[in-house]
Amino acid sequence: MKLLSQFFFFLLLTVFFFSCEEDEGTTAKSLTVDDITIAVSENIPLDTVIGQITVANLSKGLSYTIVSQSPVGAFAIDEEGQISVADSSLFDYESYTSITGIVAITAHGYEYKEINVSITVEDKYDDVPFDAEDFSLKLEENPEENAVLGQIITSISSDDLTYTINAQTPANAFSVSAAGEIVVNDASLFVNSINPTITGTVTITGAGLIAQEIAVALDLYSIWLGDNITFTKSANQDPTIEAGQDRITDNVWLTRGLAGGEIYNAKTETYALKNVSPKDTEWALGTIASADDITDLSFNTFRTTVGSPKQSVGKDMVLHLLTDDIYINIKFTSWSTGNSAQWGAFAYERSTANE
């Protein structure tokens, strides 16, 4: 009898021992999941999915329950953990700049878990004005096709805007990208002698914004790097006739009067004015080979640039025709002074239009 009692005692101990082991093996695990932060634009459509709750250590058998939210009814959550818009009227920046809530996550064999949901509602502008600058640019003729010339400047992000060309002269010269960049559309139209200025207007619109219209002006200049020619005006040669003038363009005819003095523009002047002539021009010491050289040149009137006109001989200079917007390399090779037999004579070498 004593042996039987001992047997049952050890049997009970064994059952108790294994029961404890089983209880220890079923201890609930923790769910690995973070709070979620979301940013959305206001007036977002109903049922739009705006976020996803992700549990790092479990993907199946999860249940999601909204414990609380403010304002009530703003968002919903489905069985997959996707957060969506439940009431689009509450996603209004003027009413709520943020929406918050607590979501409970449960799974069999795992600890109950709550996370915070924080939604930032961003302003989308409601029929408000914005600033947009006219686009103007001076550039060298013959740019590359599809070259980006610059960005239209506005007071709000270009991502929120749409750009539409209303008109341009000549047609199809430029385009506007979705990001508001002015782009060369037809490079063959960007020629100074054909289209010295390309103009247009662009309308800028956006959701909830008052449309703005800007002007586009592209001024084309030319750098003449063609073969040099020599112009010579003989002593006492009549400055009013074509042979006594260097008719560089329709706007600039350089010559020198019979009484000497400095050169003038016979197209618009009948004699030289000290420190003014030749009109419609400006001059700089140096040479030009590309657009990069322009910023290194200091332009002024002819006399201010060279000092006394006779001191112009042998100096490398750049002549800028203002109306035509053409840059020319020029060097005077002679300048007469002294008796009347030499009056009005001068000579120079200059570059010509590009081939």
Residues 268 and 217 in one domain: no
163 within some domain: yes
24 within some domain: no
Mean pLDDT of 273-290: 96
Radius of gyration of the chain measured on its C-alpha atoms: 41
Question: Residue 27 has what pLDDT?
Answer: 74
Question: Residue 126 has what pLDDT?
Answer: 63
Residues 303 and 272 in one domain: yes
Mean pLDDT of 93-106: 95
Mean pLDDT of 135-147: 96
Residues 114 and 148 in one domain: no
The residue with greater pLDDT, 355 or 5, is 355
Question: Residue 142 has what pLDDT?
Answer: 95
Task: Give the 3-state secondary structure of residue 241.
Answer: coil
Read off φ and ψ for residue 165, nearest 5 degrees.
-80, 125
CA distance 207 to 205: 7
Counted domains in the chain: 3
Output the six-digit token pair for 339. 């008796």
Residues 341 and 243 in one domain: yes
Per-residue confidence at 1, pLDDT binned at 50, 70, 90? very low
Read off φ and ψ for residue 334, nearest 5 degrees.
-160, 155
Output the six-digit token pair for 349. 């070498």
170 within some domain: yes
Task: Give the 3-state secondary structure of residue 5.
Answer: helix
Mean pLDDT of 315-324: 97
Residues 233 and 203 in one domain: no
In the predicted structure, residue 339 carries a pLDDT above the cut 60 = yes
The last residue of one of the domains, among 221, 255, 274, is: 221
Residues 274 and 323 in one domain: yes
Kindly report which listed range (62-66, 90-94, 127-131, 203-207) carries the lowest average pLDDT score: 127-131
Residues 248 and 163 in one domain: no
Mark out the alpha helices in 174-325 (DSSP H runs): 302-306
Question: Residue 11 has what pLDDT?
Answer: 46
The last residue of one of the domains, among 204, 221, 238, is: 221
Residues 157 and 254 in one domain: no
Does 129 sit behind a cis peptide bond, omega within 30 degrees of 0 on the bond before it?
no
Per-residue confidence at 129, pLDDT binned at 50, 70, 90? confident
Per-residue confidence at 175, pLDDT binned at 50, 70, 90? very high
Mean pLDDT of 333-341: 83
CB under 8 Å to 194, separation ≥6 — which residues?
none
Specify whether the CB–CB gap between 170 and 189 falls below 8 A: yes
Q: Which domain holds residue 240?
A: 229-350
Mean pLDDT of 239-245: 97
Residues 214 and 233 in one domain: no
Reported pTM? 0.64
287 within some domain: yes
Query: Buried b / exposed e across 35-74, counting CB within 10 Å, b at 16+?
Result: ebeeebebebeeeeebbebebeeeeeebebebeebeeeeb
Specify whether the CB–CB gap between 346 and 263 falls below 8 A: yes
Whole-number average pLDDT of the chain: 90
Specify whether the CB–CB gap between 260 and 344 falls below 8 A: yes
In the predicted structure, residue 333 carries a pLDDT above the cut 80 = yes
Residues 262 and 325 in one domain: yes
% of residues, the chain, pLDDT over 90: 80
The last residue of one of the domains, among 192, 221, 250, is: 221
Question: Residue 294 has what pLDDT?
Answer: 94
113 class by beta-carbon count within 10 Å (0-12 exposed, 13-18 middle, 19+ buried): middle
Question: Which amino acid, one-letter code, is at 130?
Answer: F
**Domain at 198, CATH number:** 2.60.40.60
Question: Residue 128 has what pLDDT?
Answer: 74
14 within some domain: no
Residues 67 and 177 in one domain: no
Residues 217 and 233 in one domain: no
Question: Residue 26 has what pLDDT?
Answer: 54
256 within some domain: yes
277 within some domain: yes
128 within some domain: no
Specify whether the CB–CB gap between 238 and 244 falls below 8 A: yes
Q: pLDDT for 189-225, tens place per residue?
A: 999 999 999 999 999 998 778 899 999 999 999 999 9
| DSSP label at residue 207 | T
